[in-house]
Chain A
């Protein structure tokens, strides 16, 4: 689904990532760890074509990102649900319209669709459906971002510190949601520095742990 082949990424004269190779297979569950500033967010952005590799290649669903037009890439992104660390929303739209945004931009519309209501209920935000994003708590925003990321039933879910702004209980609820999605066949890649979260997940799902250190992507072992 997402293949990185000897990929490197440089910015401002310095190399942030080097010689990175990885294949995200359908139904796989990965964690991506590493110290702050190691390049986890950059890695995720490369995975959905928000950044372009400076060397090597990134292939999304079999197509090299460099060969995609801007519109091709936009359409390709509909197959990749992204949960950002800072959970960007359109602040002038109520929550339910923000969650339905991927449907809206892809011409599938229908804010009142039953699936949308069901999804909002599934992430526990039914009572906040008409609230504006600035009125939401950190945990609510994280769940809303997750709901938006999966409303198009994407093949891959990329989450950048999805539990970064929430308490332990809420992080467990979010993790449970992601594990449930993985059981439905979705490929999940979560960037996090929360090792406790990884340990909690490994007891419920067969997860592979990757680590970025010294610009390289490594497979983490039993030290977690």
Chain B
């Protein structure tokens, strides 16, 4: 069936068909609540998935393009070794730029541990050189060998040691978010199946009468399916709106950093949660239809 026609057939009120099933019952509240709760959780799972996705991209793209060279040498040789290292770097293919960090920048890096205004002169602090790559990057092993030969106090850190596990962790978290979304969808389908089965059992006499007067299974099922689909859609809208507001109101951790930085949606990503209610309705449609057809097949 054409998807648009299918959606219209669900949304169009078939008042006659809908009226054959009694309008009240605890399954109404159960379905609404389940759909709203699942949609609310789905918004958070989606926010987690997107935040970790952004984290992985940031760590992958930004940090992979930079490296650090640490010069640990006696104070008298520090300047000479730094200049030697910069010379080596300037002749290494794949390096866009290299510069030694200023004292102020190194102080800023140490500030979280030692506070502001730390006197670098009083501490055996190595000189750091920031290296920015270009193109396909440089040959890390070749550069290490050259530095070993020409700048004995230099150590190359291409961030790979700690970047890779972080990216792996971010990707795992993203998978976890996606898995959570699937579990939420499955749980919602299970809950709606239970509610639909209960509704069908409670309306056994209605079904008997309908079959007696010549109603087909599809007709009987559709009366239940439409009702549950619309309830799931309404519950989904309620849960999604509440979830989006809650995500929007999450405290920002931009300055403090850490994992919570940017948990939520950014820019066009706010559109994604809007897909949750219709997806919930689709889940409800198929879950109710399967439950209804299974129950009806049990009757002659």
The answer to whether B217 and A105 touch across the interface, beta carbons within 8 angstroms, is no
Q: A54 an interface residue at 8 Å Cβ cutoff?
A: no
0/1 interface trace, chain B 210-225, chain A, CB 8 Å (1 if under)? 1111111111000000
Task: Say if the beta carbon of B275 comes within 8 Å of chain A.
Answer: no
- Given the known interface contacts A70-B217, A90-B206, the answer about A104 and B212 at a Cβ–Cβ threshold of 8 Å is no
Interfacial chain A residues near B214, Cβ < 8 Å: 74-78, 102, 105-106, 152
Among residues of B, the one whose C-beta sits closest to the C-beta of A101 is: B213
User: A87: nearest residue on chain B (CB-CB)?
Assistant: B209
With an 8 A cutoff between CB atoms, is B20 at the interface?
yes
Contact with A along B1-32 (1 / 0, CB 8 A): 00000000000000011011011000000000
**Once the chains are docked, how many angstroms separate the CA of A163 from the CA of B192?**
43
Q: For A50, what are the chain B residues with a Cβ–Cβ distance below 8 Å?
A: 212, 300
Kindly state whether residue B205 has any CB partner on chain A within 8 Å: yes
Query: B215 is contacted by which of A51, A74, A109 (Cβ under 8 Å)?
Result: A74
In the complex, what distance in Å separates the CA atom of A75 from the CA atom of B212? 10
Contact residues in B for A102 (Cβ distance below 8 Å): 213-214
Docked-complex contact A109 and B16, CB < 8 angstroms: yes
Interface size class of A (residues with CB under 8 A): 20 to 34
Kindly identify, within residues 30 to 64 of chain B, every residue whose CB is under 8 Å from any CB belonging to chain A.
none
Q: Report whether A93 and B216 are in contact in the complex, using a CB–CB cutoff of 8 Å.
A: no
Task: Return B213 CB to nearest CB of chain A, in Å.
Answer: 4
Nearest A residue to B22 via CB reads A92
Contact with A along B193-234 (1 / 0, CB 8 A): 000000000000110111111111111000000000000000
Q: How far is the CA of A106 from the CA of B296 in the complex (A)?
A: 18
- A176 on the B face (CB < 8 A): no
Tell me whether A82 and B212 are in contact (CB under 8 A).
Answer: yes
A25 at the interface (CB under 8 A from B): no
Please determine whether B215 and A52 come into contact, CB atoms closer than 8 angstroms.
no
CA distance A52 to B300 in the complex (A): 9
For the complex, count residues of B whose C-beta is within 8 A of A. 23
Tell me if A42 counts as interface (CB < 8 A to partner B).
Answer: no
Q: Which residues of A contact B297 (CB under 8 A)?
A: 70
Q: Which residue of A lies closest to B20 (CB)?
A: A90
- Of chain A, the residue at the smallest CB distance from B208 is A88
Among the listed A71, A82, A148, which residue makes an inter-chain contact with B216, where contact means beta carbons less than 8 Å apart? A71
Return chain A residues, CB-CB under 8 Å to B215: 74, 105
Q: What residues of B have a CB within 8 angstroms of the CB of A82 in the complex?
A: 212
A97 at the interface (CB under 8 A from B): yes
Q: Provide the residues of chain A in CB contact with B219, threshold 8 Å.
A: 105
Residues on A with C-beta less than 8 A from B208 are 88
Chain B min CB distance to A210 (Å): 23
- Residues on B with beta carbons closer than 8 Å to the beta carbon of A104: 16-17, 20
Q: A92-B23, A93-B20, A97-B19 are in contact. Are A105 and B210 (CB under 8 A)?
A: yes
A52 to B209, CA, bound (A): 18
A44 to B19, CA, bound (A): 29
Q: Which residues on A sit within 8 Å (CB–CB) of B16?
A: 104, 109, 111
Residue of B nearest to A45 (CB): B300
Pairwise interchain contact B218-A71, C-beta atoms closer than 8 A: yes
Tell me the bound Cα distance from A74 to B218 in angstroms: 11
Q: Is A173 an interface residue (CB 8 A)?
A: no
Would you call A88 and B205 a contact (CB within 8 A)? Answer: yes
A148→B213 contact, CB < 8 A: yes
Closest chain-B Cβ to A54's Cβ sits at a distance in Å of 13
Contact of B19 among A74, A93, A106, A148 (CB under 8 A): A93
A84 within 8 A of B: yes
Question: Closest residue to B300 on the A side, CB-wise?
Answer: A50
A9 and B58 CA atoms in complex are apart in Å by 74
Report the nearest B residue to A79, measured CB to CB: B214
* Residue in A closest to B215 when the chains form the complex, CB atoms: A105
Q: Which of A39-73 contact B (CB under 8 A)?
A: 49-52, 70-71
Taking a contact as CB atoms closer than 8 A, the residue among B23, B209, B216 that contacts A75 in the complex is: B216
B211 CB contact (under 8 Å) in A74, A97, A111 = A74
Q: Which residues of B contact A78 (CB under 8 A)?
A: 213-214
Within 8 A of A (CB), among B167-185: none
Could you show 15 A-B contacts with beta carbons less than 8 Å apart?
A: A50-B300, A70-B216, A71-B218, A77-B211, A77-B212, A82-B212, A88-B205, A88-B209, A88-B212, A90-B20, A92-B22, A93-B19, A101-B213, A104-B20, A105-B219
- Interface residues of chain B, those whose CB is within 8 Å of chain A, are 16-17, 19-20, 22-23, 205-206, 208-219, 296-297, 300
Q: What 7 new A-B contacts, CB under 8 Å, besides A78-B213, A105-B219, A148-B213?
A: A50-B212, A70-B297, A75-B216, A84-B212, A104-B17, A104-B20, A105-B210
Those 7 A-B pairs whose CB atoms lie nearest each other, nearest first = A78-B214, A105-B215, A77-B214, A102-B213, A71-B216, A74-B216, A92-B22
